[in-house]
C-alpha cells in the first residue's frame, strides 16, 4: 500500500515539476538576478538597502553571494519581496522522476543479472537470450513496483 502511495506521489510531483521545464534553459544574468532586477527597476543599492533595513555594503555582499552560490534562501526571499518579486526555488529532474527510477532499476537489474548469468554459465545452466530479456524486464518491473531499500545503494 505504501509503495503505491509513493508511486502516486512521484507521478503527481512529476506533473508539478513539468511546469518548471520551460525555465531550465534561461541563463542567469551575468551580475545575478538581484542586480539585474534592481538595475532594471532603476533602484540603487542604497535604496534596496533601505527597503531591507541593512547597509549598502550588505546589499553588495548579498549580490556577490548570489553569484558565488553562498546566498541563503532566506536572504533571497527577503530581497525578492523588497523588489516586488517572488523567489522561486526548485530541484527539477533532468528527465522525470519516473524515468530516473526506471533507469536506476534497470541499472541494478542488469548488474544482478550479469552476476547471476556468470554463476549459471559456470554451472552450465545459462538462459536463452529471450529468457534473459524476460527475466531482466520482470526484475526491472518488480523493482519499480516494490522500490527496495537497496535501490539507491552504490554497488
User: Does 73 lie in the same domain as 46?
Assistant: yes
Please check whether residue 41 lies inside any domain of the structure: yes
Domain that holds residue 50: 25-82
Please indicate, yes or no, whether residues 69 and 31 belong to a single structural domain of this protein. yes
pLDDT of amino acid 153: 93
Residues 78 and 29 in one domain: yes
The predicted structure's pLDDT at residue 84: 98
- Do both 76 and 101 map to the same domain? no
In the chain, the number of structural domains is: 2
**Of the candidates 48, 47, 45, 75, which has an alpha carbon nearest to the alpha carbon of residue 62?**
75
Predicted pLDDT of residue 76: 99
Decide: 117 and 83 in contact? Cβ < 8 Å. no
Q: What pLDDT is attached to residue 45?
A: 98
The verdict on 68 and 33 lying in the same domain is yes
Q: For residue 93, what pLDDT is reported?
A: 93
Contacts of 112 (CB under 8 A, 6+ apart): 139
What pLDDT sits at residue 127?
Answer: 64
118 and 78, same domain (yes or no): no
Residue 129 inside a domain? The answer is: yes
Evaluate whether residue 139 is within a structural domain: yes
Same domain, 76 and 114: no
pLDDT at 124: 65
Alpha-carbon gap, residue 90 to 121, rounded angstroms: 48
Which among 30, 34, 19 is positioned nearest to 77, based on CA atoms?
A: 34
Please list the rounded mean pLDDT of every run of 10 residues in the chain (155 residues).
80 95 92 98 98 98 98 98 96 94 95 78 66 86 92 86
Q: Is 153 domain-assigned? A: no
Please report the pLDDT score of residue 61 as a whole number.
98
Determine the pLDDT at residue 130.
Answer: 72
121 is a domain residue: yes
What CATH number is attached to the domain comprising 46?
A: 1.10.260
pLDDT at 1: 52
Q: Specify if 11 maps to a domain.
A: no
Q: Residue 36 domain-assigned? A: yes
Q: Are residues 105 and 75 in the same domain?
A: no
Task: Pick the last residue of a domain from 82, 110, 126.
Answer: 82
Domain assignment present for residue 116? The answer is yes
Amino acid at each position: 500500500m505504501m509503495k503505491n502511495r509513493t508511486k502516486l506521489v512521484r507521478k503527481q510531483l512529476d506533473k508539478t515539476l513539468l511546469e518548471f521545464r520551460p525555465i531550465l534553459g534561461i541563463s542567469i544574468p551575468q551580475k545575478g538576478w538581484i542586480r539585474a532586477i534592481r538595475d532594471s527597476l532603476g533602484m540603487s543599492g542604497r535604496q534596496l538597502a533601505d527597503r531591507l533595513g541593512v547597509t549598502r555594503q550588505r546589499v553588495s555582499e548579498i549580490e556577490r553571494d548570489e553569484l558565488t552560490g553562498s546566498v541563503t534562501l532566506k536572504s533571497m526571499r527577503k530581497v525578492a519581496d523588497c523588489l516586488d518579486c517572488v523567489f522561486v526555488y526548485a530541484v527539477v529532474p533532468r528527465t522525470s522522476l519516473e524515468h530516473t527510477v526506471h533507469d536506476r532499476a534497470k541499472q541494478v537489474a542488469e548488474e544482478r543479472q550479469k552476476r547471476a548469468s556468470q554463476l549459471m554459465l559456470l554451472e552450465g545452466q545459462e538462459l536463452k537470450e529471450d529468457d534473459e530479456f524476460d527475466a531482466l524486464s520482470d526484475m526491472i518491473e518488480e523493482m519499480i513496483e516494490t522500490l527496495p531499500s537497496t535501490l539507491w545503494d552504490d554497488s
